[in-house]
């Protein structure tokens, strides 16, 4: 029974095929047009990876000549659009008879049960009931259909009718009403009937938006030297260092080894800066007075825009900058210009445009273009993603005593982020939104995440009590695993690791298509470096890359959180995997077994060769002997045979190739086997927030794991040192024996043909078990007795 449950759970985590009804189908029959108000023979639009969703659009533009209220002699008008039980309102204007709203309302056609569309104009009253001004009524059967890419439907003036429609009232309203789909240009910014409960600032947060990451540059500061640097204590020269700050990033040079008024460093400090350059370049030269005290000797403040932009590896000219003396008051400002000389610093500063500023790991990078646009190549393909729907989402929060989920999806590829609209109070939301990206390298990854919106203007909070958008799950798709021009429609499981274990939060349905524009260019890219050439000509250290990636992620999160609606920090961090470098026992186990899996083929090959040598299957051993004889007699066939063998293996494995994109694998991730304490440690903050006893237990466990790793590393070092000991004369007798053996082997091999040596060696290696001893061989015994440096370690 347990095995059945495990198999069912594993199947629940697998990818599922789908057959959605994709493409454009219009209600008047046929594909796009037909016998309806509009008949079109044009080719289908690019909105062919989603299921069509029909909406009734009402655009309220403006009104004129509205009658004032007879009591207040003013008019505070607003418009209410009503279709059955659904109502949408514009904002009201105070004391205006000719207001302009220019607002679009979208009503889902599937939920419309009324045969009329009513547009009311009312006068806002503070105390009594709002005053009725007039209305316009449209028959649902007479509403035209707009087919993109047709131009928008022109709004028209309609005279307002009385309450019962028997007489025309004073005043007119400009309105356009049409039937369209989610491909309509008005769709993203429209008020939606399925989000009518959202009020205030939450209205903006439910709309779909496209974001662009800020353009990031590396700022390289080469601190060379300084001159005439004097401390307040003139009796001894300073021991100086330089501190540079750009935004929240602060880096320091090393201390100058000598106490001098002309210190030298020649160090590179690298920062991340984003356009538009809002931060200032702030440099100070400081004296290390004591371990706890630094004295500022001079400073330099400059905007980043003054520095040169470098696109390749050419040298940048250095420049001397005068330092502002620190501590001068405002009244002494003019006196500084009277000085005949001042402290100055020698710098080489440039903005690097030839690098790609990484804000995500290279293991699942989505963008490899350099910063400078003039260095970009032509795109090799187009990626189209249809974000269809989700199924079975877990309740993420409680609203008015009811468990609910307000889900939206975020996708990130390259510099372009997209966010679908939020579907209110639904565990099976349908988005049906399609987005397109240009592809510059096929070996890149698109990331999609599903989140719960906790910023709808109400008092809702997520299940953990916080006011942040909760994670529902994430999907990654590597473009190189997709066949060109094929539409992949699959349902991806949304898996989230929590402190209690692995949990499936639901499924997200996606339609993905990768279109290749140039096959020759794409094949060329497989032999081309992944990153721009500056990463290889002037590479950064591993520590620099980790620090710069974190700074780039922080800048991207800060900029996107200032958009409207904001793409919040917790979303950006989750999509960019900001905590992927943190220690995790689960990840360590998973990576260990990945290494074992990589070498499993070699281990299986060695076992097979061992079976051949020990004649476990005599027929196989005899055939191997025959092949061995042929290769010895014709050594020129060895390499062709090896490559032909690999070709045949690849041809055979073609039958078993993956039929769908890879997805999050719970077995490889070691997610189901992780203990609750290991997961609790993985989600702990840094620095830790746990109690002393828990930290002590985890520290002891980490010590035991590190001890085993230490033993393995020590054994590897021991074997390497024994190889070195063969000729190092550390063991004189062993080295003497080995040297004499080498001389004898050289003389024998000089006079013996290589084919004979190889044949004899192969026959000895494959000898029958009757001629084998169970004791270790002499060369193995000799090697194991060689000395290592383990016996001289403390």
pLDDT given for residue 52 in this prediction: 86
Comma-separated ranges of CATH 2.60.40.150 domains in the chain: 54-181+184-201, 215-328+339-352, 374-455+466-576
* CB 157 within 8 Å of CB 173: yes
Name the CA dihedral angle for 173, 177, 181, 187, rounded to a multiple of 10 degrees. Answer: 0
Task: Give the three-state DSSP class for 288.
Answer: strand
- Residue 91 burial class via C-beta count within 10 angstroms: exposed 0-12, middle 13-18, buried 19 and up: exposed
Contacts of 248 (CB under 8 A, 6+ apart): 554
* CB 472 within 8 Å of CB 506: yes
Alpha helix ranges (H) inside 303-436: 333-336
DSSP bridge pairs for 435: 385
In CATH, the number for domain 215-328+339-352 is: 2.60.40.150
* CB 725 within 8 Å of CB 731: yes
In the predicted model, is pLDDT for residue 777 greater than 80?
A: yes
DSSP bridge pairs for 281: 246, 302
Residues composing the chain: 794
Give the separation between CA 57 and CA 47, rounded to whole angstroms: 18
Across residues 55-82, what is the average pLDDT? Answer: 87
Angstrom CA distances, 146 to 27, 37, 181, 225, 435, stand at 12, 9, 9, 69, 21
Of the listed ranges 24-28, 61-65, 96-100, the one predicted with least confidence: 24-28
Contacts of 421 (CB under 8 A, 6+ apart): 188, 192, 195, 206, 207, 208, 408, 431, 433
**In which region does residue 476 sit, left (phi positive, over 0), alpha (psi from -120 to 50) or beta (all else)?**
beta
Q: Report residue 464 as tokens.
A: 């953990």
pLDDT given for residue 238 in this prediction: 87
Per-residue confidence band for 233, with pLDDT thresholds at 50, 70 and 90: confident
Contacts of 215 (CB under 8 A, 6+ apart): 274, 275, 371, 415
Q: Report residue 460 as tokens.
A: 């809702």
Closest to 436 measured CA to CA, from 24, 147, 49: 49
Closest to 385 measured CA to CA, from 261, 281, 479: 479
Angstrom CA distances, 433 to 147, 217, 338, 664, 685, stand at 17, 32, 67, 23, 36
Across residues 203-220, what is the average pLDDT? Answer: 90
Task: Give the three-state DSSP class for 491.
Answer: strand
DSSP bridge pairs for 462: 397
Closest to 457 measured CA to CA, from 467, 471, 444, 447: 467
Per-residue confidence band for 20, with pLDDT thresholds at 50, 70 and 90: confident
Across residues 107-120, what is the average pLDDT? Answer: 88
In the predicted model, is pLDDT for residue 366 greater than 50?
A: yes
DSSP bridge pairs for 286: 241, 296
User: pLDDT for 216-230, tens place per residue?
Assistant: 999 999 999 999 888
User: pLDDT for 142-156, tens place per residue?
Assistant: 899 887 777 888 999
* CB 188 within 8 Å of CB 234: no
A 10 A CB-CB count for 433 gives 24
Contacts of 686 (CB under 8 A, 6+ apart): 582
DSSP bridge pairs for 62: 100, 174
Is CATH 2.60.40.150 what the domain over 54-181+184-201 is classified as, yes or no? yes
- Taking the alpha carbons of 478, 482, 484, 488 in that order, is the dihedral positive or negative? negative
Task: Give the three-state DSSP class for 554.
Answer: helix
How many alpha carbons lie under 13 Å from residue 504 in its C-beta half-sphere? 21
Per-residue confidence band for 463, with pLDDT thresholds at 50, 70 and 90: low
Per-residue confidence band for 464, with pLDDT thresholds at 50, 70 and 90: low
Q: Are strands 54-64 and 16-17 parallel, antiparallel or unpaired?
A: unpaired
Give the separation between CA 48 and CA 26, rounded to whole angstroms: 13
Across residues 600-610, what is the average pLDDT? Answer: 87
Per-residue confidence band for 733, with pLDDT thresholds at 50, 70 and 90: very high
User: pLDDT for 567-603, tens place per residue?
Assistant: 999 999 999 988 877 888 888 888 888 888 888 888 8
Of the listed ranges 31-35, 615-619, 666-670, 732-736, the one predicted with least confidence: 31-35
pLDDT given for residue 62 in this prediction: 92
Task: Give the three-state DSSP class for 99.
Answer: coil
Task: Give the three-state DSSP class for 577.
Answer: coil
Q: φ, ψ for residue 293 (rounded to 5)?
A: -140, 130
pLDDT given for residue 331 in this prediction: 39
Give the separation between CA 392 and CA 426, rounded to whole angstroms: 9
- What's the whole-number average pLDDT of the chain? 85
* CB 244 within 8 Å of CB 251: yes
Contacts of 180 (CB under 8 A, 6+ apart): 54, 55, 57, 145, 146, 148, 186, 187
A 10 A CB-CB count for 635 gives 11
DSSP bridge pairs for 391: 507
In CATH, the number for domain 374-455+466-576 is: 2.60.40.150
Per-residue confidence band for 334, with pLDDT thresholds at 50, 70 and 90: very low
Range 57-74 burial, b when 16+ CB lie within 10 A, else e: bbbbbbbeebeeeeeeee
Closest to 515 measured CA to CA, from 659, 671, 383, 424: 383
User: pLDDT for 694-711, tens place per residue?
Assistant: 889 988 888 888 888 889
* CB 203 within 8 Å of CB 194: no
pLDDT given for residue 30 in this prediction: 42
Give the separation between CA 730 and CA 724, rounded to whole angstroms: 9
State the DSSP H helix or E strand holding residue 539, giving kind and residue range, or none if neither. Answer: none
Across residues 680-707, what is the average pLDDT? Answer: 86
Biggest alpha carbon distance in the chain? Answer: 123
**Of residues 339 and 783, more confidently modeled:** 783
Closest to 269 measured CA to CA, from 285, 246, 294: 246
Residue 672: DSSP 8-state: S
Closest to 631 measured CA to CA, from 617, 645, 619, 618: 645
Task: Give the three-state DSSP class for 771.
Answer: helix
Give the separation between CA 699 and CA 707, rounded to whole angstroms: 12
Q: Report residue 269 as tokens.
A: 């400090």
How many alpha carbons lie under 13 Å from residue 671 in its C-beta half-sphere? 19
Give the separation between CA 397 and CA 572, rounded to whole angstroms: 21
Across residues 392-406, what is the average pLDDT? Answer: 86
């Amino acid at each position: 029974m347990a095995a059945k449950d495990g198999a069912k759970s594993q199947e629940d985590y697998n990818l599922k095929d789908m057959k959605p009804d994709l493409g454009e189908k219009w209600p008047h029959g046929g594909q796009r047009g037909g016998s309806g108000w509009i008949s079109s023979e044009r080719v289908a639009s690019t909105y062919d990876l989603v299921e069509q969703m029909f909406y009734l659009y009402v655009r309220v533009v403006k009104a004129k000549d509205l009658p004032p209220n007879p009591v207040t002699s003013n008019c505070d008008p607003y418009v209410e659009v009503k279709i059955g039980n659904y109502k949408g309102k514009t904002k009201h204007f105070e004391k205006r008879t000719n207001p302009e709203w220019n607002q679009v309302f979208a009503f889902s056609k599937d939920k419309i049960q009324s045969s009329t569309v009513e547009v009311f104009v009312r006068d806002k009253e503070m105390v009594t009931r709002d005053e009725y001004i007039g209305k316009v009524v449209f028959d649902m059967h007479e509403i035209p259909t707009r087919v993109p890419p047709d131009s928008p439907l022109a709004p028209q003036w309609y005279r307002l009718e009385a309450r019962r429609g028997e007489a025309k009232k004073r005043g007119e309203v400009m309105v356009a009403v049409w039937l369209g789909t989610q491909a309509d240009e008005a769709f993203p910014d429209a008020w939606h009937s399925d989000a009518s409960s959202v009020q205030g600032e939450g209205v903006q947060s439910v709309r779909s938006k496209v974001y662009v990451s800020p353009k990031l540059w590396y700022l390289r500061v080469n601190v060379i030297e300084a001159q005439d640097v004097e401390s307040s204590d003139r009796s001894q020269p300073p021991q100086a260092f330089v501190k540079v700050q750009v935004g929240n990033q602060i880096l320091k040079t090393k201390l100058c080894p000598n106490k001098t008024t002309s210190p030298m460093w020649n160090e590179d400090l690298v920062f991340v800066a984003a356009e538009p350059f809002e931060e200032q370049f702030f440099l100070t030269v400081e004296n290390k007075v004591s371990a706890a005290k630094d004295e500022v000797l001079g400073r330099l403040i400059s905007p980043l825009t003054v520095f040169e932009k470098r696109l390749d590896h050419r040298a940048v000219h250095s420049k001397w900058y005068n330092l502002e003396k620190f501590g001068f008051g405002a009244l002494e400002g003019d006196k500084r210009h009277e000085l005949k000389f001042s402290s100055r610093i020698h710098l080489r500063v440039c903005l690097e445009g030839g690098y790609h500023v990484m804000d995500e790991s290279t293991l699942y990078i989505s963008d490899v273009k350099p910063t400078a646009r003039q260095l970009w190549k032509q795109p090799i393909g187009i990626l189209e993603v249809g974000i269809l729907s989700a199924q079975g989402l877990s309740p993420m929060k409680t609203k008015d005593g009811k468990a609910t989920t307000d889900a939206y999806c975020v996708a990130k590829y390259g510099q372009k982020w997209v966010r679908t609209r939020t579907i209110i109070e639904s565990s099976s939301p349908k988005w049906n939104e399609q987005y397109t990206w240009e592809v510059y390298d096929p070996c890149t990854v698109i990331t999609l995440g599903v989140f719960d919106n906790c910023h709808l203007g109400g008092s809702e909070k997520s299940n953990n009590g916080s006011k942040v958008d909760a994670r529902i799950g994430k999907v990654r798709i590597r473009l190189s695993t997709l066949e060109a021009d094929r539409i992949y429609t699959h349902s991806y499981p949304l898996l989230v690791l929590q402190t209690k274990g692995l949990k499936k939060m639901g499924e997200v349905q996606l339609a993905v298509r990768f279109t290749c524009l140039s096959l020759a260019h794409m094949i060329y890219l497989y032999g081309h470096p992944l990153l721009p050439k500056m990463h290889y000509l002037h590479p950064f250290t591993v520590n620099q890359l980790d620090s710069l990636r974190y700074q780039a992620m922080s800048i991207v999160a800060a900029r996107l959180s200032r958009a409207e609606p904001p793409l919040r920090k917790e979303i950006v961090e989750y999509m960019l995997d900001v905590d992927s470098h943190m220690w995790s026992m689960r990840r360590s186990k998973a990576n260990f077994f990945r290494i074992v899996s990589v070498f499993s083929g070699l281990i299986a090959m060695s076992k097979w060769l061992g079976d051949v040598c020990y004649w476990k299957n005599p027929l196989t051993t005899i055939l191997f002997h025959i092949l061995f004889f042929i290769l010895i007699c014709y050594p020129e066939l060895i390499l062709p045979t090896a490559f032909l063998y690999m070709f045949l293996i690849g041809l055979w494995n073609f039958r078993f190739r993956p039929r769908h994109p890879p997805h999050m694998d719970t077995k490889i991730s070691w997610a189901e086997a992780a203990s609750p304490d290991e997961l609790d440690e993985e989600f702990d903050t840094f620095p830790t927030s746990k109690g002393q006893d828990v930290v002590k237990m985890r520290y002891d466990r980490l010590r035991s794991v590190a001890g085993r790793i230490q033993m393995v590393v020590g054994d590897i070092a021991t074997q390497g040192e024994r190889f070195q000991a063969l000729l190092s004369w550390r063991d004189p007798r062993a080295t003497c024996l080995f040297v004499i053996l080498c001389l004898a082997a050289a003389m024998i091999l000089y006079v013996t043909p290589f084919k004979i040596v190889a044949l004899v060696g192969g026959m000895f290696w494959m000898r029958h078990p009757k001629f084998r001893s169970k004791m270790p061989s002499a060369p193995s015994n000799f090697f194991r007795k060689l000395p290592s440096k383990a016996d001289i370690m403390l």
